[in-house]
């Protein structure tokens, strides 16, 4: 059996291992989400609202329809999410620059600060876990990170 054949035969097992490991790590990182009360908002920010806020911040601004499409939810559901984010002063609506019938959403300074705090928390946790690995294991992950990113974008 050639090396190429061995790699092809290993693909289903590798795919399963990666799926399980990445899902487990993703779940673990999600559990690190801070309570919104830590940011002075009083109640936890649900994952759907956090994801919407992050998408708006990442793109600079989005229409509600673009955000709904990006998050793969129906516009009425996104309208409720946006309403909650506005109530907590995490996003603001502004007139669309070219279409008077639409608005664009932008993350507020408060929303950006909340996202930055979450990123710092997750990166600190992950950095501590990486510190528990051997130098060789960290090198393997350093080489694998761009490959995993490539997979995530395909």
CATH number at residue 116: 1.10.10.10
Looking at per-residue pLDDT, the higher value among 122 and 40 belongs to 122
Joined tokens for residue 104: 């664009």
Give me the DSSP letters along 34-55.
Answer: PPGGGGTSSS---HHHHHHHHH
65 exposed, middle or buried (CB, 10 Å; 0-12, 13-18, 19+)?
A: exposed
Residue 37: the pLDDT is 43
The predicted-structure confidence for 137-151, as pLDDT tens digits, reads as follows 999 999 999 999 999
Residue 2 resides in a domain: no
pTM: 0.73
Residue 42: the pLDDT is 44
Residue 153: the pLDDT is 83
Residue 20 resides in a domain: no
Structural domain total, the chain: 1
Residue 123 resides in a domain: yes
């Amino acid at each position: 059996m050639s090396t190429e054949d061995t790699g092809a035969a290993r693909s289903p097992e590798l795919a399963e291992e990666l799926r399980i490991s990445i899902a487990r790590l993703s779940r673990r990182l999600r559990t690190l989400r801070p309570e919104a009360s830590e940011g002075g908002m009083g109640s936890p920010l649900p994952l759907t609202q956090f994801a919407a806020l992050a998408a708006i911040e990442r793109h600079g601004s989005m229409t509600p329809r673009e955000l709904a499409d990006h998050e793969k939810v129906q516009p009425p559901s996104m309208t409720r999410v946006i309403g909650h984010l506005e109530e907590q002063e995490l996003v603001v609506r502004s007139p669309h620059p070219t279409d008077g019938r639409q608005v664009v959403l932008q993350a507020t300074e408060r929303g950006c600060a909340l996202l930055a705090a979450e990123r710092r928390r997750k990166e600190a946790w992950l950095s501590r876990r990486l510190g528990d690995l051997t130098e060789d294991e960290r090198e393997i992950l350093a080489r694998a990170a761009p490959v995993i990113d490539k997979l995530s974008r395909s």
